């Protein structure tokens, strides 16, 4: 099938570029948001040769922010770092009994938790201030910079880290609502792919999943053109992908991480609310790839909302995701339990009207 052949070629192209440090939010030359100078090929975009940005430069009124470490057996390092956002009035006496929704964010290749802080935190803060998003606890996960979000990676069991450890740590440490409806999983690029994979594979874990520029591919890895397969094999050894997926790629292993393959095996999403979008100018071709995913969901009878953003670019590039976050967080807000949804800021009369929730639709949305 010609359409799938094109998408398979794009898989290799995106993985090759990712391995060279170009997959994340910056422009094709590899610059991250904010104009860092090029330098280093470290796994983290804020790593070697790249100056730190001041977190305080992002001014938040509705949220407080800090980077927090906690112990975990899922990582070989024994500890995990997250970006933690709490409601600004979390510690006030009037709120000591209040429970909050939990939103997890998964970053893309060559990023870490801080990419969300400089690209998305202010948008979330503004949405809360406008009454379009209930007060919530947001956790931006710092996975290894070149993770596939799989168990068995050289750095540890990343799937377990996200779906078990982070959720359990947040629930044990902060006042997180125990309701499934109040747990949302979000991500961008490979983080978007992981968010979809985790939620679709175990839909009872989360109430809502929302993904941007998600890396998703056709079902058969054998369709990868030979010249691109050589690139995958070369970087697969260096980054440990061969250990995870096989060399050549094992179709059964590939099917477990690829959203389109997972969808083809589903008939019931168990009430999971699904949102995803991608830009028509995505440099890795994830616009048409996500369109194909939407078609697969429609054919399987899986309710979802999909948006193809005309002229939109990949990930944080060109401001696409920054604008799209307004829509995805409104969608997430629409799934919160009645108790948590009621905890919205009432904006001043002259401000933006309280946001109506975006409801899930069957089939591709505009």
Per residue in 309-334, pLDDT tens?
999 999 897 899 999 999 999 999 99
Helix (H, G, I), strand (E, B) or coil at 171: helix
β strands within 49-197, DSSP E: 63-71, 79-87, 102-106, 137-141, 183-188
Tokens at 97, concatenated: 């009994």
Q: What does the pLDDT look like over 187-239, one tens digit per residue?
A: 999 999 999 999 999 999 999 999 999 998 888 887 753 544 554 676 688 88
Q: Using CA of residue 153, residue 159, residue 160, residue 165, what is the dihedral sign?
A: positive
In a domain, 359, yes or no: yes
Cβ–Cβ under 8 Å, residues 273 and 331: yes
pLDDT of the residue at 241: 84
Structural domain harbouring 61: 2-14+52-365
What element of type H or E holds 307? strand 305-309
Buried b (16+ CB within 10 A) or exposed e, 101-117: bbbbbbbbbbbbbbbbb
Tokens at 356, concatenated: 């109506």
Q: How far apart are CA 14 and CA 29, in angstroms?
A: 14
pLDDT band at 136 (very low <50, low <70, confident <90, very high): very high
Q: How far apart are CA 112 and CA 9, in angstroms?
A: 27
Q: How far apart are CA 211 and CA 1, in angstroms?
A: 26
pLDDT of the residue at 163: 97
Please choose, from the candidates 344, 360, 23, the residue with its C-alpha nearest in 3D space to the C-alpha of residue 210: 360
Residue % of the chain over a pLDDT of 90 = 64
Q: How far apart are CA 332 and CA 50, in angstroms?
A: 33
Looking up residue 187, the CATH number of its domain turns out to be: 3.40.50.1820
pTM assigned to the model = 0.83
> CA of 313: how far to CAs of 3, 26, 50, 324, 362, in Å?
20, 10, 24, 11, 25
pLDDT of the residue at 238: 85
Tokens at 92, concatenated: 């006030």
Instruction: Round the average pLDDT of the chain to a whole number and report it.
Output: 83
pLDDT band at 106 (very low <50, low <70, confident <90, very high): very high
Q: How far apart are CA 113 and CA 107, in angstroms?
A: 7
Task: State how many domains the chain has.
Answer: 1
Q: How far apart are the first and last CA of the chain?
A: 26
- On the question of pLDDT at 242 being above 60, the answer is yes
pLDDT of the residue at 362: 43
pLDDT band at 279 (very low <50, low <70, confident <90, very high): very high
Please choose, from the candidates 139, 141, 173, the residue with its C-alpha nearest in 3D space to the C-alpha of residue 158: 141
In a domain, 26, yes or no: no
Taking residues 75-94, what's their average pLDDT? 97
Q: For tokens 């604008």, what's the residue?
A: 323
Cβ–Cβ under 8 Å, residues 258 and 290: no
In a domain, 44, yes or no: no
In a domain, 47, yes or no: no
In a domain, 277, yes or no: yes
β strands within 61-182, DSSP E: 63-71, 79-87, 102-106, 137-141
Tokens at 223, concatenated: 């369709």
In a domain, 23, yes or no: no
DSSP, res 247: T
In a domain, 164, yes or no: yes
Q: How far apart are CA 140 and CA 226, in angstroms?
A: 37
In a domain, 38, yes or no: no
């Amino acid at each position: 099938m010609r359409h799938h052949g094109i998408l398979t070629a794009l898989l290799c192209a995106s993985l090759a570029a990712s391995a060279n440090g170009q997959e994340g939010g910056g422009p094709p030359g590899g610059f991250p948001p904010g104009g860092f100078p090029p330098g280093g090929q470290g796994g983290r975009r804020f790593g070697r040769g790249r100056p730190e940005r001041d977190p305080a430069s992002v001014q938040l009124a509705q949220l407080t922010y800090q980077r927090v470490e906690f112990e975990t057996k899922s990582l070989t390092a024994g500890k995990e770092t997250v970006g933690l956002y709490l409601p600004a009035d979390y510690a006030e006496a009037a709120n000591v009994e209040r429970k909050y929704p939990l939103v997890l964010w998964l970053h893309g290749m060559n990023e870490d938790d801080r990419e969300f802080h400089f690209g998305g935190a202010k948008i979330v803060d503004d949405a809360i201030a406008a009454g379009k998003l209930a007060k919530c606890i947001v956790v931006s996960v710092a996975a290894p910079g070149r993770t596939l979000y799989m168990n068995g990676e050289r750095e540890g069991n990343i799937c377990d880290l996200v779906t078990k450890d982070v959720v359990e740590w947040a629930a044990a440490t902060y006042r997180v609502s125990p309701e499934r409806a109040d747990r949302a999983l979000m991500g961008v690029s490979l983080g978007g792919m992981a968010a979809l994979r985790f939620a679709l594979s175990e839909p009872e874990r989360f109430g809502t999943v929302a993904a941007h520029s998600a890396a998703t591919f056709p079902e058969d890895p054998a369709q990868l053109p030979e010249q691109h397969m050589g690139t995958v094999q070369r970087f697969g050894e260096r980054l440990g992908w061969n250990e995870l997926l096989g060399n050549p790629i094992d179709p059964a292993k590939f099917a477990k991480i690829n959203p389109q393959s997972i969808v083809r095996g589903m008939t019931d999403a168990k009430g999971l609310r699904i949102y995803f979008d991608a830009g028509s100018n995505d440099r890795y071709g994830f616009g048409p790839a996500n369109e194909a995913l939407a078609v697969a969901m429609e054919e399987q009878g899986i309710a979802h909302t999909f948006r193809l953003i005309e002229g939109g670019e990949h990930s944080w590039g060109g401001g696409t995701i920054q604008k799209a976050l307004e829509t995805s967080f409104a969608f997430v807000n629409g799934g919160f339990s009645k108790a948590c949804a009621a905890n919205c800021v009432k904006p001043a009369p002259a401000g933006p009207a309280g946001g109506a929730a975006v409801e899930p639709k069957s089939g591709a949305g505009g």
